[in-house]
A = this chain, B = another copy of it.
């Protein structure tokens, strides 16, 4: 059994929009053990659409089509599906009623155009849309079972998972259980991880291993299918433990959480609070930490002190420290961390001071140089790091994650 994907719409065809739907669909279908052989994309042109539907009807068993179900003139998915299937379009009274009440509940009158969204090729199965007005549908053409879904990613994803995947699974000869686990890591590149885990395929032949850069972290993906659900869960746990033993504290999270979330969890677990002093990271550490709902439980403040005067005035860094060592120095990093820790009596504090570039570098302190400061219950320390990436935004990210990792390792050692 093989599957293909068809994205439709002029925005994707002309490059105005990157198609992220097809990757999502491909992953979900391949998790079922069905191979995706091709992705395709055509624009809002009824002839082009009908032609490719007929090609797909000869080539694949399952086809997921996205887009072309909106209410406007250039939404031609229904028309092309009916033409390719050699049937006419029929109005579904129940669906029309639902669309009308959708508008009614928002105190609006349904625009005439939307009537179109209640039309379906004769014999099609209607696929409910729990979010928007446009239902999808499934229709058989030639060898292929086609699933037509809206192009809006949020609607498409819900409908794929609720309406399409269960239908495909019903027709599979064997019923499998699927599990995709994500482990987030930091500190080793993809090939170094692959090296360290080189025995994995031998030890766990039933689990497919994947690596995905989620810069600056690297995620390990474990894909498993099994007809026995209990065996699947047990195998998963064994594999996670084995990887944990191999990688130690390079593992940020066995459940795929990113660095900032994990640091937040550890702080909450230890009933500790955090203050941050940022120079070269420019607020990025605070931004990451506060993306976590409930971060006010541990996060007190970040002082983004770009100017030296702000380092003195807000953080209490001594003028002589800045004069003697300069802003980019381990002593300054330590003084920044100690200063911000004191402000509101935080349990921990981290600080960054460095050169993100493109300007500001020197032979002694080139662009990419950063000093990290850490203040905790057991005192102050500093760490030097050099990033060879050379780009400002990347440097900010590398500096920020290094600072969070320094704190993470401290919190872990506190825990043990």
By a beta-carbon cutoff of 8 Å, the part of chain A in contact with chain B is 7, 12-20, 22-28, 30, 36-43, 48, 52, 210, 212, 221, 275-276, 278, 282-287, 289-291, 293-296, 299-307, 309-310, 313-314, 343-344, 356-359, 392-393, 396
* Cβ A300 vs Cβ B306 within 8 A: yes
The 8 closest A-B pairs by CB, nearest first: A282-B290, A283-B286, A15-B26, A283-B283, A15-B27, A39-B41, A301-B310, A302-B304
Q: How far is the CB of A21 from chain B (nearest CB, A)?
A: 9
Which residue on chain B has the smallest CB distance to residue A307?
A: B300
Q: How far is the CB of A63 from chain B (nearest CB, A)?
A: 14
Question: In the assembly, what is the distance between CA of A208 and CA of B76, in Å?
Answer: 23
Q: Which B residues are CB-close (under 8 A) to A210?
A: 16
Which residue on chain B has the smallest CB distance to residue A298?
A: B306
Q: Which B residues are CB-close (under 8 A) to A41?
A: 22, 38-40
Q: How far is the CB of A116 from chain B (nearest CB, A)?
A: 19
Known: A14-B27, A283-B283. A396 touches B299 (CB 8 A): no
Q: How far is the CB of A154 from chain B (nearest CB, A)?
A: 11
Q: How far is the CB of A216 from chain B (nearest CB, A)?
A: 16
Question: In the assembly, what is the distance between CA of A275 and CA of B25, in Å?
Answer: 45
Q: How far is the CB of A166 from chain B (nearest CB, A)?
A: 19
* Cβ B287 vs Cβ A283 within 8 A: yes
Q: How far is the CB of A374 from chain B (nearest CB, A)?
A: 18
Q: How far is the CB of A72 from chain B (nearest CB, A)?
A: 12
A48: which of B37, B212, B393 is its contact (CB, 8 Å)? B37
Interface-centre pick from A25, A287, A307 (highest chain B CB count, 10 A): A287
Which residue on chain B has the smallest CB distance to residue A309?
A: B344
A15: which of B23, B291, B310 is its contact (CB, 8 Å)? B23
Q: Which B residues are CB-close (under 8 A) to A22?
A: 15, 19, 41
